[in-house]
Structure 1
Amino acid sequence: MNIILARDISKSVTPVPPLHRTAKRHEWTRIHRGAYLDLQGTEPDDVSQESWHAAKIIGLAASTPIAVISGLSAAIFHGLPMLYSRIPNLVHVTRASKSTKSEWAHTHQAKLAADEVVEVAGIRCTSITRTIQDLAGTLSLPELLAMADAARAREVDLQPLVSVNRFGRHLRWAVEHASDRSESYAETWSRYHFICAGIELPLQQPSVIARDGTFIGRTDFGTRDGLLGEFDGKVKYGKFLKPGQSAADAVMAEKSRENSLRDTNHELTRWDWDVLRSQQTFLNRWDSAKQRAALLPPPTATLELRPMKKPVVTNWTDIFQWNHAAIG
């Protein structure tokens, strides 16, 4: 997808029609004053909400390079986990001085230290640590913990958050419980329920290994006494298909995997978003599965915590093309 900036068109030696007329003719989408998005054949519904917002960020940065992308917008540009309901319409920015209201931006006034500003795809954003600090009063504890988990998985130093005064209790709690083994917001939310209930945390992302050393599978959670658990988002069969694999093939492969796990005398339980929304419902499901696991013979496979792969972070320069010289 291509981002067209008015300043690039105005530098053209050859006379060209006004950009808004060209945009209308080509059905480009206006993402900021003097900036349009050319989907280049991509259907609008196929563009993620995060990508739409990222395009707005790029358009704004070209128009106002002095502003620093911050808050929810910085979280999106950093690729931190966020509920869709949190994705804002306006781009959040931080300035040292006050500014007038804008139809494109939500401006926050604050002085940022030099180490609190970084470049992402050539655009100035608050650092991941500063972004989490700024959102401590906006996000719920599970959401804050999910961002702290993602930061820890990227080996970001969260220790500076411990000494922050504003919403300090929330930040210290998130730093204390952050884990580098959480792969999704749903996993974090599940762990949040365990933490709040005071239940001993199960192993995260354990690999199930047969007695002969064969790798059988990996689940979101597991206990040494025979209980495995995982979140079922109901979208993985379509979103993460292997090349040439149909949704039906994926379902059959998952059934085979589940049978292999159960064959090791492990109880396997799953939950979805509806279960996660109620802590008591979630805990009841876990407790019921634990009771079933206690009735099974001893597991014939062991659980191992193997090194996690580094998280894949969206590179916005792979998604959009724009004139980087226009920014900065």
Structure 2
Amino acid sequence: MDAGAPAGDHAGMRNWGKELGFVDVRGLSDRAGHTLLTAEIAVTDELWTPLAPWEKSAARAFAVGLTMDTAVVCGKSAARLIGIELPGWEDTVEVTYPGKRKPGGQRYWPEGVRFRYRNLGEDEVVEREGIRLTAIYRTLRDIAVLHGLADGVVALDSARRRWPEVSMQTWRSGLLRGPRFKGVGTVRRVLDLSVPDSDSPQESLARIRLIIADLPGVEEIRTQVRFEADGRSYPVDLLINEWLVLEFDGDIKYEEGAFGRTTRETVLKEREREVLLLNLGLQVRRVRARDLELDADGWCPMFGIVLDALRGREELGRKIRD
């Protein structure tokens, strides 16, 4: 385990094998009604189908980890097992070999598995529930190096949300420890841009997208700012230029019975809150997960939402002045 790792690092990792009752494929006389997670492990469709896509990513990573003799689950797949939240999901499980061993050609990889070369030290590997995976600091570092700045910030924000007792200096020391490595500049940038109070992966992703895009007119971005109205305190996800609020709501929020409320109750509460914020002179825009998806040109719908609000504010100010 990493020296100075967060308390409970990897502890409480979900045992997907027990939860889903993994079945040895060799013992199945008929595979009907089962989904194959690896060539050796299956799960009944009854238990598999209701899972959320990101849960399926974690369960698949768990199954692959059980079948690996020497390889170690790493990157986003290790993050899923640890419980670090990431936007979206993965159909491919990332693994690597400890030490300097390089993986063979892609034609030798099992289906649904991607080997990475990571020059991994044995002290950067932990074993939980019969699976070898990268320790938390190495997992976070690898996400930044393999997947880039945005994913790196989202992962570190999530880790800080889960282990708030860990100081920023400890995260910095953990992610940068050891010999200099390729991608250290990206990891340093991730550390500089991470915040301790991001409330969700979508919020983290939106914030870093806006920072990278450097949109004209966006002068300041603040997280989890609270406003007082009607005797109550209302936090907002992102506040741009002190007046534009961006709120991020997953679809699950509107499901019947979510958080103990009916869908109608949720919508009414949301509308009441929004009216109070509007009465404070704020503008509120709601952003969906798909509004954060970049196209081939590096553009996402959220940028349009923000720019439209900025232009509207500017035009209103011009009319008032005229």
TM-score above 0.5, yes or no: yes
Residue type at the aligned position of 1:56: R
**Pairwise CA distance, 1:260:** 2.4
Q: How many Å separate the matches in 2 of 1:62 and 1:233?
A: 32
Which consecutive residues of structure 1, in runs of 5 or more, have no partner in the other structure? 10-17, 296-328
- Separation in 1, partners of 2:155, 2:53: 18
Inter-CA distance 185–285: structure 2 relative to 1 (3 Å threshold): farther
- Tell me the CA shift for residue 43 of structure 1: 6.0
- 1:151 corresponds to which residue? 159
Residues 249-288 of structure 1 aligned to structure 2 (within 5 Å): 249-273=265-289, 276=292, 277-278=300-301, 280-288=303-311
Cα gap change, 1:77/1:191 in structure 2, threshold over 3 Å: closer, same or farther? same
How far apart are the structure 2 equivalents of 1:259 and 1:242? 22
Whether 2:67 is the aligned partner of 1:69: answer no
What secondary structure, in the 3-state scheme, does the structure 2 residue paired with 1:130 have? Answer: helix
What is the rounded CA distance, in whole Å, between the counterparts of 2:76 and 2:146 in structure 1? 9
Cα separation, 2, equivalents of 1:292 and 1:36:
59
Q: Distance in 2 between matches of 1:279 and 1:102?
A: 38
Residues 71-123 of structure 1: CA distance to partner in whole angstroms, max 9, x if unpaired? 23112222334343x61334524344355523243333444234422345553
- Whether 2:53 is the aligned partner of 1:30: answer no
Question: What RMSD over aligned residues (CA atoms) do the two structures have, in Å?
Answer: 3.5
Q: Distance between the aligned counterparts of 1:206 and 1:274, measured in 2?
A: 24
Cα-to-partner distance string for 1:158-207 (whole Å, 9 max, x where unaligned): 33444743122221111111111112232123322443428443331122
Query: 1:2 maps to which residue?
Result: 20
Q: Which protein has greater RCO, CA pairs closer than 8 Å, 6+ apart?
A: 1
Task: Give the secondary-structure state (helix, strand or coil) at the position aligned to 1:125.
Answer: strand
Partner of residue 114, structure 2: 106
Return the match for 1:49 from 45, 49, 53. 53
Which secondary structure does the structure 2 equivalent of 1:270 belong to?
A: strand
Alignment of 1:1-328 (within 5 A): 1-6=19-24, 19-21=27-29, 24=31, 27-39=33-45, 41-42=46-47, 44=49, 46-84=50-88, 87-96=90-99, 97-98=101-102, 101-104=108-111, 105-121=113-129, 123-153=131-161, 154=163, 155=166, 157-162=171-176, 164-196=180-212, 197=214, 199-210=218-229, 214-222=231-239, 226-238=243-255, 241-243=258-260, 245-273=261-289, 276=292, 277-278=300-301, 280-288=303-311
68-77 or 220-229, which moves further after superposition?
A: 220-229
Is this contact kept in 2: 1:231–1:272, CA < 8 A? Answer: yes
CA contact (8 A) 1:90 1:103 kept: no
How many residues are matched?
277
2:243–2:281 Cα contact (<8 Å) kept: yes
- Larger-Rg structure: 1
Question: Counterpart of 1:259 in structure 2: which amino acid?
Answer: V
Aligned to 1:308: none
Distance 1:203 1:4, change over 3 A: closer
TM-score (norm 1): 0.69
Superposed displacement of residue 263, structure 1: 3.1
Q: 1:24-49, CA deviations, whole angstroms, 9 ceiling, x for partnerless residues?
A: 26x2322223322135x3461x2222
Alpha-carbon spacing, 1:50–1:225, altered in 2? closer, same or farther (3 Å): closer
Bigger CA drift: 275-284 or 286-295?
286-295
Q: Tell me the distance in 2 between the aligned counterparts of 1:264 and 1:238.
A: 29
